[in-house]
Each structure stands twice: as structure tokens, then as C-alpha cells.
Amino acid sequence: MKSDNVKVGMQQAPARSLFHALGFTNEEMKKPMVGIVSSFNEIVPGHMNIDKIVEAVKLGVAEAGGMPVVFPAIAVCDGIAMGHIGMKYSLVSRDLIADSTECMALAHQFDALVMIPNCDKNVPGLLMAAARVNVPTVFVSGGPMLAGHVGGRKRSLSSMFEAVGSFAAGTMTKEEVEDFEEHVCPTCGSCSGMYTANSMNCLTEAIGMGLKGNGTIPAVYSERIALAKRAGYAVMELLKKDIRPRDIITKEAIENALTVDMALGCSTNSMLHLPAIAHEIGFDFDISYANPISEKTPNLCHLAPAGATYMEDLNEAGGVYAVMKELSDIGLINNDCMTVTGQTIGENIKNSVNRNPEVIRPVDNPYTKTGGLAVLKGNLAPDGSVVKRSAVDEKMLVHEGPARVFDCEEDAIDAIKCGKIKEGDVVVIRYEGPKGGPGMREMLNPTSAIVGMGLGATVALITDGRFSGASRGAAIGHVSPEAAVGGPIALVHEGDMISIDIPNLSIELKVSDEELEARRKEWKPKEPSITTGYLKRYCALVESGAKGAILKLPGDET
């Protein structure tokens, strides 16, 4: 056992004395030591129930003959961090989570791990750590929130942000906004639509690192506790069989995840996280690789914000496995990939049934014949940009309009809410990329303001930052190269015409090459907004959004 390095032999007597200080018995020290990575905290609603999940996992591990030991992982609530300096710390927390988990797992020589994430960057950060540490590992998330109910309709957090825009437009009263405020988030759990947290928890199932239901069983269901116990049992089986994360997280498994992503209509943030996870196993994931997969993958689900169904509905319809079975039936899933069940994807999903063809469209009746995400390229985004096309109004799939240029999110929000943005405009928010932000803030506030102001079918938004999974509309993010490094988005002038053609995967600035070259010669780098602390180090190390905003030292190709 790996933990013998800290438990066995005379040389480890001092370490054993410290285990005795923890209350370990000699009998416990003979068992495999399983790290339970708990992201429990009291500030993120998706994490407030994780203490219950932890206790269930511990029980499962102990019943299966292991010694469970809990240690923490941090998590940022994107909804609370939204719209201020806090959002600069959201994406960057992913790498802190991965690094700190690697430190804890290797410093203490755990034999196996159970990861318990839930929200946004917590999930990919722990997947990255699992690939690095490479001891038998199972994921079990905290689970999604139930949908809220306002005015007799199901609602979620995206509705709340859009209500603020509606209030600014004068179409909603303060009392109506307060009704939303009190009822859109009725339980603990990751927010109830197909936002980033739920996207990544579902994709964890698709990769094979989570058990059935990991992404969809609601946080408040007792079934979630049973799932946690089964995760404890499963990790001990993986340890016996010596099945490790790099046996599961393979190029083919990531291709499966990307295929499922397209069918589910996941958050654009998956196009940051899948490349980062791929990097940990040595797979150079180019975001434009998404387009050929999208072209052959039907979009089967329209969960909020794209439609009026929610995670609880997807769970009742058969969950991720039912979606994968639909895709497998037309040859789009690699069924031979290994999973944490000790069986292959094909074996796991063979008996899955689609119980609600309104929630999970059959492959012969998809919402669209192409997937939920698209990567657009052109002279404005030579290295690519990302749009959640399943959440774009049909009228905005092809659009041309004048640029309204802002060098930060706050200025754009002020202009939108003051009525300065008109039908047909293309809002450009720059210097919000991985380096320029720094931290690549989410633009949920401006996209929600656009929708709330009644402009969702007439105004586009383009940014080198990123979007929340709760964003909808013609929202095009991850524009690369970013403005901070002199990308073409830095050269856009107020009033320049921008052409967007999502079906043909293009985004063009209607300015001549000669004029762009002249502007490039005049361009000067913007002074960084943060010059101290972790964000300063992050800014120095972070790569392009087109590469997953991974951290790399100069000359590091590993």
C-alpha cells in the first residue's frame, strides 16, 4: 500500500505517533488510507450539504475495509462573486484546488481518494488533481438544487439575474424582483439549470469518474446519501483492482465527454475545463476540435437557461446515462472506456432508458442536428471563440452590427442599464481575459441585463472573458488571442461593423488588413489592474483561453 510509506517500519515510528495523536488505532493503521476530499463550506449553497455526503462516504469506505480521512478543498460561489473583484478569483481557484489537493494527497501518501465537489471550478480542479495524483479515485458531487417556483412557473438563478435587467428596463417592480429573490433558489445544491457546476458534474459521469446519478440526483434527495455510500464502496473495489484515474481519463473518455456536452447543451466553461483536464494526461486539446464533434452530435436537451426544463427533470428522464445511450445507439460513444464502476461505459449504459422524450429528445427528433456549443474563428478571433449556440435566439444566429466597445465589464453594464445599447448593436467587452482580467471573469451580469432589457433577440455580446452557464443569447466568449496580449479584439473601434455567422462558424471584424495593421502599430498594452498577490502570479503563468487557461512556466511543454 502507498500509505505504508508513512505507516510501516521503524523509520516511520514518529509518523505513527502522530497518527496516534489523531486517535488512530493500530488496527486502523493496517487498513488502506482513503482521503476524503471535502469541499464543504458555509458560503456556497451547493456545498452546505456536503458534510452529510462526507459522512456517508466515510461510512461506505469503512464498511468496505478502508480507513477514511477527511481533508478540505476550497470553492468559490460564482453567483456571489459575480459582478465585482470577487469574480477575478473564480477561474483561478481551479488551479489552487488542483495544486492544494495534489499537495495533501502526496504529502500524506493516501492509497485512494474520494472527491466531493459541487460547484463550478471545484469539479474540474479536483479532476485535474485526480489525474496528477493517479491513485484510485471516485467522484460524488453534492448534487443539484431543485428548481424554484415563481408565478406558477419553474425558475432558476438565471431568471434572477434577468429580473434585475427587467427592473432596470422598468418592466418589473421591486416587489416582483423580491419575489424572485426569495423563491428562485429554494434548496441547497448547485443551481438548478445546465450551468457550469451541473455541466461538469454530468461530464464527470460521461468521462467515467462518477457513478450513475452523480450529475443529476438532487442534493436534497436521500438517494444522494445512498450514492455517497456506494462511492465509498466503489473506491475500495478500484483499489483492489488497481484501476486509476489515468486508466479512466483517456483521450477517448474526453471525446465522450465532449460528445455528451454537445447533446446536453452544457456551459461554455466546459471548453476551458475539458482542455485543462486533457492537459493533465498529455492530450493537447485544441478547442476547434469541438466543431467536428458538434457537427455530428445532435442537441437533445434544452435545460435552463436554453429551455424550461431543469436538472430534476433530466434526472427523472434517465439522467446522463439515458443521454449516452441515445448517442451510443447511433455510434457516437466509445463504449470501451473504463469507469469507476470497474465496468466499461457500454456495460454501464446498456439497460438505460429514456423515460421522457420531451426532456431528452430521441436522436431522430433532436432540437438541432448539431451540438450545443460552437467554436467561431475569423480575423477577430484567429485562435477561436466559443458560443453556446443552443441558447442563442434563432434570429441572432447570423448578425451584423456596430461595435460598442468597453474596456471592462462594469462600463458595459452601466451602458446597458442606462439604455445606451440599441437594437442591432454588438457589445464588445475586452481586457477581461485570463491575463487581462486577470482571471477571465464571467459576464452573466451584462448578458442578463441585455435579456432583461428586452434586447436578447437583437443584441450580441463578444468578450475575451467568459460566460456563466446561466448566460443565454448571442454571447460569444473566450475570444483569443485576448486584448491584453494585443489580440485583434484590442484593435476594435467604436462603430466598427462586426459580422457573426454561427452556422458557418465565423466571426469577422469588417476592417481591412491594412487598417488593422496601422491600429496594431498604435496599440499600447493596458496597465494591469492587479499587481500583487496570487492574481499577479496567475497573470504571469496563465495561457490563452483557447488552451483552457492552464498555468505553464516559460518553456514548460509537459
- The model's pLDDT over 265-284, given as tens digits with 9 standing for 90+, comes to 999 999 999 999 999 999 99
Instruction: Please state, in angstroms and as integers, the Cα–Cα distance from residue 542 to each residue in 93, 148, 282, 488, 546, following that order.
Output: 13, 37, 17, 19, 11
pLDDT at 557: 57
Q: For the chain, report the end-to-end CA distance as a whole number of angstroms.
A: 28
Other residues' Cβ atoms within 10 Å of the Cβ of residue 521: 7
Phi-psi region of 424 (alpha: psi -120 to 50; beta: other; left: phi over 0): left
The three-class DSSP label of residue 375 is strand
Any idea what DSSP says for residue 155?
E
Do the beta carbons of residue 372 and residue 299 sit within 8 Å?
yes
Do the beta carbons of residue 3 and residue 32 sit within 8 Å?
yes
pLDDT at 558: 46
Angle formed by the axes of helices 251-264 and 196-207, to 10°?
140
487 CB contacts (<8 Å, ≥6 apart)?
Answer: 381, 382, 383, 464, 479, 480, 481
pTM, to two decimals: 0.96
Do the beta carbons of residue 380 and residue 492 sit within 8 Å?
yes
d(CA 477, CA 442): 9
CA atoms within a 13 Å half-sphere pointing along the CA-CB vector of 429: 30
Going residue by residue through the chain (558 aa), what tens digit of pLDDT does each one get?
999 999 999 999 999 999 999 999 999 999 999 999 999 999 999 999 999 999 999 999 999 999 999 999 999 999 999 989 999 999 999 999 999 999 999 999 999 999 999 999 999 999 999 999 999 999 999 999 999 999 999 999 999 999 998 998 899 999 999 999 999 999 999 999 999 999 999 999 999 999 999 999 999 999 999 999 999 999 999 999 999 999 999 999 999 999 999 999 999 999 999 999 999 999 999 898 899 999 999 999 999 999 999 999 999 999 999 999 999 999 999 999 999 999 999 999 999 999 999 999 999 999 999 999 999 999 999 999 999 999 999 999 999 999 999 999 999 999 999 999 999 999 999 999 999 999 999 998 999 999 989 999 999 999 999 998 888 889 999 999 999 999 999 999 999 999 999 999 999 999 999 999 999 999 999 988 888 999 999 999 999 999 999 998 766 654
d(CA 386, CA 433): 13
177 CB contacts (<8 Å, ≥6 apart)?
Answer: 163, 164, 166, 167
pLDDT at 168: 87
pLDDT at 555: 67
Question: CA angle, corner 105, sides to 100 and 191, nearest 5?
Answer: 55
d(CA 357, CA 363): 10
**pLDDT (tens digit per residue) in 312-328:** 999 999 999 999 999 99
Active site residues: 468
50 CB contacts (<8 Å, ≥6 apart)?
Answer: 38, 39, 40, 116, 118, 142
CA atoms within a 13 Å half-sphere pointing along the CA-CB vector of 8: 10
